[in-house]
Amino acid sequence: MKKHEEYDPVLIKNDIALIEMNVPIKLNEYKQVACLPTKNSSDYPRSNDKVLLIGWGKTNTIMDYFKFLRLKTAYLNVLSSNHCQSLFEDFADEKQICVGNDSFFFLLLYM
């Protein structure tokens, strides 16, 4: 596993890692490639872009605490930086993408 070189566990910034597989993965309808953005800023989600959240993270309901092994999905819109700063005290980085939930989820942007 390769962590981001600038990962900060205290501020939870650059919270991403890559896993190198020993064998090739056969792609099918359930396993697909998710592309990483380049340094070109047009590749990053903008406010109101539709994104897909995928993961096993917690949601706002207490019942989901007991269903953490169930894979969840949700379509959400990216929120503006100003909106996120009003919701989350520690949201201050222009590199962060805010959709109102960040708990063990992967974020995919449809392009």
Q: What is the mean pLDDT of residues 57-75?
A: 64
Task: Name which of 86, 88, 77 is nearest 49 in CA terms.
Answer: 77
Q: pLDDT band at residue 61, thresholds of 50, 70 and 90?
A: low
| Cα separation values, 63 from 26, 55, 74, 75, Å | 34, 16, 17, 20
Question: Positive or negative CA dihedral for 69, 73, 74, 78?
Answer: positive
β-strand partners of 52: 75, 108
Dist CA 61 CA 111 (whole Å): 31
Tokens of 61: 């309901």
* pLDDT band at residue 62 using 50, 70 and 90 as cut-offs: low
Q: How many CA atoms lie within 13 A of 2 on its CB side?
A: 5
Structure tokens at 70: 């169930």
Per-residue pLDDT, averaged over 46-61, amounts to 75
pLDDT digits (tens, 9 = 90+) for 80-110: 888 888 877 776 666 677 777 655 566 667 6
Q: Are 83 and 52 in contact, with CB atoms under 8 Å apart?
A: no
